[in-house]
Structure formats: structure tokens, C-alpha cells
A and B are shown apart, each in its own frame.
Chain A
Amino acid sequence: MEIRRVCVVGAGTMGAEIAKWAVQGGYEVAIQDVSETIVRKVVDRIHETLLRGVPEQDTWHLMVEALKLEHPEFFEGLSVPDISPEQLEYLVHAMKGTTNLDDACRDADIVIEAVFEDISLKQGIFRKLDAMCPSHTILASNSSTIMISRLAVQTGRPDRCIGMHFMGPMPLVEVIRGTATSDSTVRNIVKLARDMGKKPIVLNKEWPGFVANSVSGGGGREAHWLLEKKIATVEQIDDIAITGLGYIRGPFMVEDFVGLDVIHDAQVSIFEQTGDPMDKPSPLLEEKLNRGELGMKTGKGFYNWS
């Protein structure tokens, strides 16, 4: 099966990036969001970035640029297919932004769902997509915590449902097999990820938090414990993580970037899945949330950003 058309559902930060990478990868893209304003903004920004070369200067993109300089070997072999400037221009102009889900997905070969991390919202979207999309269409979810099998059961095509977890602007894409995901679905998603200039890693099973967030979260959990018990300060813990453990940014700095509400939601979701007392959300995070300190975006989290 040839994959040509990609539909992205949800035009938040991640959805917008995914749409941009798919265009760069040579795909015809449609992006849908419930907000007309957001869809317009995203389409305009992709025009600016891809046609006028306006650089992306936000913290995450700058961090990736620094990583490229420091560790060029991580990026070896990652590239988008050769497409001519004319073809890129055509694909950017052909990109469709809409608030109508049916319009966006009805001729798609792959749909990537990237809406809020809310299971009933995602389940509803998977039901709709299953009814609206052609029978061959693959339904992928960018969820960072929800198991794809819980979305796949909402559809009549569990073999064509798969997890496709992007991590901000980082090169990794975790491709997660659900209990019924077929090999050809995995192959198609792996190819799409490569064409987007990403490094796909296929996870053979669903796992709470998948791999990257689970492992780094294991360190984060201890970092919170150390702070709670006043063994070390935020700055010291970040310093130790960078100097001794190979972090590029310390765990608290990263949590402030990502948003403490997002981290907390992820911890809650993992805890619900494992029921393991060791995975209980950090009480420190709950305190921060109660005070409205969500990290960089509110000016205060573990660090002061204002």
C-alpha cells in the first residue's frame, strides 16, 4: 500500500509539528482542529517556516540544535526524502486546514491523532475516524500515556491501530504495537516516521509511559524524593544529574519546560495503569499545582522564570 495522504487531528504544539514534518517528508497533509483560529495560525506558520525559512527559536528547538552540535552521531542517517523546492511549495500550498473532521480524514491513508491527553476524548475520536475513514486507513495515536489497545477496541480495525509517540522536536518516535496491531501497520508507520526525518523505535508491547518517559521518569521520581526529604536542593539535583548521569538538562529544569501539570497528568496515568505505590504521583508536584505553579509557562515552577 502506498501512503500519500496524512491527516493530523488536533493542531496544538505537537499536532502542528507533526503536520510540518509530514509535509517535509513529501506527504499531502490535512490538519483538523475544533478551533478555526488555531488551524489558521498553524497553516500560516508552516508556510512561514517551510517557504520563507523563518527559524524556530523556542527553547526546545534551541536545545535540539545544541544536541546536534554536541552529538552529531545521534542524527546520523536521519533525513527527509529528496523533494524539489517546487514539490515542497506544492505540498505546502496543498496542505488543508479545517475544522471539519470528515473533510480532513475521509481520503487519508494514515491519521495521526494528537488531541489533549484525555481518554474519553480520544476514544470518541477513534470511533468517529473508524466510521469516516476508508477501510485501509491506519489510525495512529500520539498519546504519551494511553495504551493504543484501549483506543483500538473502539474501532472495527484494531489491526490498523498503532501508537506513534512523538517527543516534542526530538528525533525519536516510539512506535507502539497494540495487542492486535499488524506487521504491515508497523512497517507503514516506521516508513512514515523515517520520511519525517525521525528515528522510529518499535516497542513490541505496550508499557506504562512507554520507554523514554518511563526510564527518565524513574530518575525523576528519585529526584522528587530527594527534594522532599531535603537531601539536596533543586539546583544541586540538576547539577548532579548533568555532571554525573549524562542529562543535558536536569530533571527539574525539564519538568519546568514541559509543564508540571503535564508531568503530573502523566504520573497519574501511569499510576492508574500499574497500581504500583512506587509510581504514585509526587506530593511535591501536587503542592506546586495547587499553588498554580506550572513551570515556565506560569513564570514559576521549581525555578523562577519571571
Chain B
Amino acid sequence: MSIENICIIGAGTMGRLLTVWALERGYTVSACDTSRNALDTARSRIPAKEFSARLTATEDMEKCACRADLVVDATPDNIEAKKVLFNELDSMCPKHTIVLSCTATIPLAVLNAVVERPERTVIANFWFDTPLVEIVKREPTAGRVMDAVKGFAELLGKRPVVLTRDCPGHACCRMFLGQVYRALRIIEAEVATAEDVDTCMTLGSAYSSGIMRRCDRMGLDFVYQAFLSLYELTGEHRFKPNRVLEEKIAAGKLGQKSGEGFFVWPNLNSAS
């Protein structure tokens, strides 16, 4: 089956990245968010003018979902909100539409519990600006849906890794948070600063970049939400959001996008 019209729900960091990638590959994209503000910001950050004919930005999800071949959920990993969203999409989308979730933490079964056509639900965790896409290949997702999504990811220049089972956090986000929770405890206990943690990882453990800068680039609200979701799904204490993270968010320090998180960042708009 061919994908032409894509509806991307959620105009945050991941939604905006996906919008740009899809436009660059010639798709027609409607970006959808409940917040007009988020949509305007996303629109202002989409670089090339030649894309504007193929891009619409709207708060009306039904209007764009009913015309989409592929709906991409790039909303925050809030379990209850996602259940509501998938239930709505299930009735809004035409039969042929693929409903893809970029969730970094929620397993397929949780989403499928609220839909009537689980064979078209698929999880593909596009992991920010890296080439990684984790695709969960398991029942009841249909073979044609899997193939189409894998093809879509490859067309965007990504490197899909196909997992045949899933779990809360899949593989990538689980490993990521496993590191972050320890790093946050080290910072909380004032053993070392965020800067020093990153130096230890690059110069000691041979990482190409430090984990705290990574958190800042992803957005601390994303990291917090991922912890919260994983904590709710597993009940495991290490995924309980850390105080340090809560304080940053309360202070409006969300990372690169807000100009400051664990580090101070140059202005995003003037830099790009």
C-alpha cells in the first residue's frame, strides 16, 4: 500500500522532527496539536518555504485523521491520554489508515486494549535526531502494516531495529533511563555535577556524547514523562522520577528548547 498523506499528532520535539523529515521526502503532512501555540512554534521552525504547500497545521484532529494514510502519534507518553487518543483515532480513521505510535515507553498491548482494529496499530519509536527507529513486530499488527512502516522509516533515512517482543520502555528508552536514573542520583547527592557526569561518560566510558546533554536536547519534560510512564507500567522504584528532574521542570528549565536545562543553550531560533 502507498502512503501519501501523513497526519502527525503532537507538535513537540519529535513531532516537529518527523514533520520536517516527511516533508523533505515529498509527503503531504498535516501537523495536529491541541495547542495553537505549539503549532505556531513548530511552523516557525520548519525551515524551507517550498514545503508550505504540502503542510497544514491544525487543531482539528478529525479533519486530518480522516484523510490520512498514516497517522503518527508523537504526543507525550501519558498512558491515560494515549488511551483516549487511540480510541478516538480508531473511529476517526478510514479502514486503510495505519496508526503508528512513537511511544518510547508504552507497550503495544496497552494501546490495543482500546481499539477495535488492532491489526493496524504499530509501534515505531523514532528516537529523536538519531538514526534509530525501534519497531515492535508482534501480533496482532498485520504484515502489510509492518512492511509499510519499515519502508517509511527507511525512506526517511533511518535504521530500523525490529524487536519481536516488547516491554515497557522497549529496549532503547529502558537502557537510557537506566543510565539517567543513576546519573540523577549522583547529581542529587552532589557527588559530581552534570558537566562532570558527562565528562566521565565520554572520557571514561567512551561514549560519543554525555547523557545529561542528551537529556537536555531531548527535553527534560520528555525525560520526566518517560520515567513517570515506566514507573506506572512497572512499579519499579528506579524509574520513579527524581527530585532533581522535578525541580528543573518546575523552574521551566526544559533543556535546549527553553534555553536551559542542566546546561545553558544558545537560542534555538538564532542558531538554526
Contact = CB atoms under 8 A, between A and B. Distances in A.
A229 B165 CA distance: 9
Interface stretch (B1-9, B79-87, B176-184, B249-257): B176-184
A215 B238 CA distance: 13
A218 B205 contact: no
Given A229-B167, A236-B163, A245-B175, A215 B201 contact: yes
B269 interface: no
Contacts of B114: none
A204 interface: yes
B132 A240 contact: yes
A59 B208 CA distance: 18
Most buried by A among B176, B199, B207: B207
A71 B191 contact: no
Contact of A219 (B179, B196, B204): B179
Contacts of A239: 161
A66 to B, nearest CB: 9
A275 to B, nearest CB: 13
Contact of A244 (B127, B196, B238): B127
Contact of A278 (B175, B183, B206, B236): B236
A240 B161 contact: yes
A199 B237 CA distance: 34
Interface in A55-71: 63-64, 67, 70-71
Contacts of B211: 215, 246
B174 interface: yes
B172 A215 contact: no
Contacts of A251: 175
Interface residues of A, number: 53
Looking at chain B, what size class is its interface with the partner chain? 35 or more
Nearest to A235: B161
Given A70-B208, A215-B179, A219-B175, A230 B165 contact: yes
A216 interface: yes
A157 B238 CA distance: 38
Given A167-B204, A207-B186, A218-B179, 18 more contacts: A67-B206, A71-B202, A170-B203, A204-B190, A205-B190, A207-B189, A212-B201, A212-B204, A215-B179, A216-B205, A219-B176, A231-B170, A237-B171, A240-B132, A245-B176, A245-B214, A249-B206, A278-B238
Interface of A: 63-64, 67, 70-71, 74, 167, 170-172, 174, 199, 201-205, 207, 210-223, 225-226, 229-232, 236-237, 239-241, 243-249, 251, 254, 278
5 contacts: A215-B179, A218-B179, A219-B176, A226-B167, A246-B211
